[in-house]
Structures are given as structure tokens and as C-alpha cells.
């Protein structure tokens, strides 16, 4: 047993449902997929295994998450999963295209799962701006997580979750789909699909 591997229970539970959504957009595609905030690495591994024609580039800011991603990869050894890289998505420039990082442009997808409510809103803004630059013409940006709709929580449990996030950090919080859509539009991206997911979560798919 490699003790650097982290096991996030929620990630284990939601991997197949997210994979099912992604398969509508990724099946049969080639190219590169950048993941922001990869956490334990379980999603990157799962998706790399399910979409063998694509190359996955996992990233995170936490060193122990990067170590976990690489530890899972050492154990399983997928040829289309690249080593984890340190990337703070709040940074103005991500350094893509530099040695060992994903290509600067033409990405097939950027995926970001359960991150933008556990970080300042500036991260979502920055991500939407950078995605418009890094995605290929038919690439897409994928968000997964809990969201408000029209400024309102969709469930009581999400409202309580929002309060608990804000208690940890006032800059965190469940985001509003319409706010995501607004910033996306300012960056030339369109919110194409909103998909209801298990456990009161949503998938958002944005394209040019």
C-alpha cells in the first residue's frame, strides 16, 4: 500500500456520474485535457482510464495532493496520464506550454470539479478568462459542484453547506450559475448545458 495516495470518498462516489456526462463530449476525441484542482487524483485516473485517446494533465496547489496524484499513477501506470503539476489557478498566467505543462492552446477540455466554491470567486473569474485562451476551437470548460440558480439555493442542504463554507472562509461559498454565465459571456464563452447531477450538484458545460 502506497501511503501517499489519498482517497476522497465523495470523489469515489461521483466519478462514474461525471464520467457519463463527459463521455457525451469526449468519447472518440483526441487531444489534451487539463484538470484544475485535481485533489487526490482519483478523477484524473478514472477519466484517463475511460478516455484512452486523450492525454490528461492533473494540477493542484497542494503539495500533498500532487504527491497523491503521482502515487496513484505509480500504482496504476496509465500511459495517457501526465505527472501532476503545481498550478495556482488564481495566477494571471498559468505557465502552460512550458516544459512539462499542458499545451498553451488548443486544449480539448478544461475540467474543474468541486473547486470554485472552495476558493475565492476570483478563481472562477480567472478560470473563465484563461479557458477562453487555452481551449481549442471546439474545446469546452467543465464545472461540477453545488450551485445556486437565480440567486437561490436549490436545496436546504446546499444552503447549510454554503453557510459552513463561509464560516471557514468568507471568500468561499456556493456560486450562482447565472454569475458563472455572466463572466463566461464577458470572456466569449457560452453556457451550453446545465445538467442536474446526484446529491444536488450540477454539471456546467461551456464552449466558445
Residues that bind ligand SAM (CB under 6 A): 8, 11, 36-40, 43, 60-62, 65, 87-90, 113-115, 118-119, 123
Task: Provide the minimum distance between the beta carbon of 203 and ligand SAM in the complex, in angstroms, as a whole number.
Answer: 13
Q: How many CB atoms lie within 10 A of CB 156?
A: 9
- Distance of closest approach, residue 182 Cβ to ligand SAM, in angstroms: 21
Q: Closer to ligand SAM at the Cβ: 124 or 191?
A: 124
- Cβ proximity to ligand SAM, 44 vs 189, nearer residue: 44
Three-state SS letters, the chain: CCCCCCCCHHHHHHHHHHHHHHHHHHCCCCEEEEEECCCCCHHHHHHHHHCCCEEEEEEECCHHHHHHHHHHHHHHCCCCECCCEECCCCCCCCCCCCCCCCCCCCEEEEEEECCCCCCCHHHHHHHHHHHHHHEEEEEEEEEEECEEECCECCCHHHHHHHHHHHHHCCCCCCEEHHHHHHHHHHCCCEEEEEEEEHHHEEEEEEEC
Identity of the residue, 40 or 158, whose beta carbon is nearer to ligand SAM in the bound complex: 40
Closest CB to ligand SAM among 58 and 139? 58
Nearer to ligand SAM, 109 or 123 (CB): 123
- Please, what is the minimum distance in Å from the beta carbon of residue 137 to ligand SAM? 26
The Cβ-side half-sphere exposure at 63, using a 13 Å CA radius, reads: 0
Min. distance of Cβ 92 from ligand SAM in angstroms? 12
Nearest distance, CB of residue 120 and ligand SAM, angstroms: 8
Amino acid at each position: 500500500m502506497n501511503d501517499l495516495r489519498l482517497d476522497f470518498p465523495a470523489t469515489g462516489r461521483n466519478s462514474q456520474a461525471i464520467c457519463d456526462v463527459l463521455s457525451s463530449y469526449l468519447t472518440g476525441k483526441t487531444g489534451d485535457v487539463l484538470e484544475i484542482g485535481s485533489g487526490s487524483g482519483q478523477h484524473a485516473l478514472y477519466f484517463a482510464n475511460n478516455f484512452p485517446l486523450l492525454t490528461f494533465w492533473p494540477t493542484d496547489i497542494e503539495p500533498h495532493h500532487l504527491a497523491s496524484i503521482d502515487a496513484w499513477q505509480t500504482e496504476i501506470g496509465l500511459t495517457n496520464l501526465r505527472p501532476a503539476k503545481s498550478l495556482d489557478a488564481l495566477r494571471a498566467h498559468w505557465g502552460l506550454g512550458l516544459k512539462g505543462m499542458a499545451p498553451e492552446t488548443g486544449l480539448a477540455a478544461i475540467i474543474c470539479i468541486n473547486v470554485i466554491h472552495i476558493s475565492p470567486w476570483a478563481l472562477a473569474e480567472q478560470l473563465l478568462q484563461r479557458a477562453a485562451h487555452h481551449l481549442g476551437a471546439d474545446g469546452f470548460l467543465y464545472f461540477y459542484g453545488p450551485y445556486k440558480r437565480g440567486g437561490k439555493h436549490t436545496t436546504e442542504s446546499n444552503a447549510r453547506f454554503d453557510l459552513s463554507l463561509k464560516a471557514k472562509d468568507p471568500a468561499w461559498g456556493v456560486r450562482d450559475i447565472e454569475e458563472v454565465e455572466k463572466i463566461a459571456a464577458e470572456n466569449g464563452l457560452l453556457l451550453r448545458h446545465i445538467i442536474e447531477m446526484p446529491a444536488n450538484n450540477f454539471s456546467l458545460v461551456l464552449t466558445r
